[in-house]
Amino acid sequence: MKKAILLATLFSALPAFAQEMVSSASAVGNSAYFAIGASLAIGMAALGGALAQGKIGSSAMDGIARNPQAQGNMFVSMIIGLVLIESLVIYSLVIAFMLVGKIG
């Protein structure tokens, strides 16, 4: 009996909380989506870039510790990898600025 009363109360109260979202959605428009997209773009790019740079640095130091004579070759490869990763993060920053430019 308690379950039936609870369910009846729950289902009778739901229409009271129903609202039309048309007016509030039209006021916000697409600018909120552009802001969310820009923040996700730069956040995920920075996270991915930081993880990749950490992995490259760790692997390079491990390789240099195992074979110190190959330090020159490993250092050059490490720097090229870091530059390519950082360029992807910078591209995402540019895209985020372009999305923010569409807001205003």
Tokens 């996270």 belong to 47
User: Within 13 Å of residue 71, how many CA atoms lie on the same side as its CB?
Assistant: 5
pLDDT digits (tens, 9 = 90+) for 5-25: 877 776 676 666 665 555 555
What was the pLDDT predicted at 21? 57
Domain boundary assignment for the chain: 30-103
- What CATH architecture is 30-103? Up-down Bundle (1.20)
pLDDT digits (tens, 9 = 90+) for 58-95: 999 999 999 999 998 899 999 999 999 999 999 988 98
**C-alpha gyration radius of the chain:** 26
Cβ within 8 Å of residue 53, ≥6 positions away: 82, 85, 86
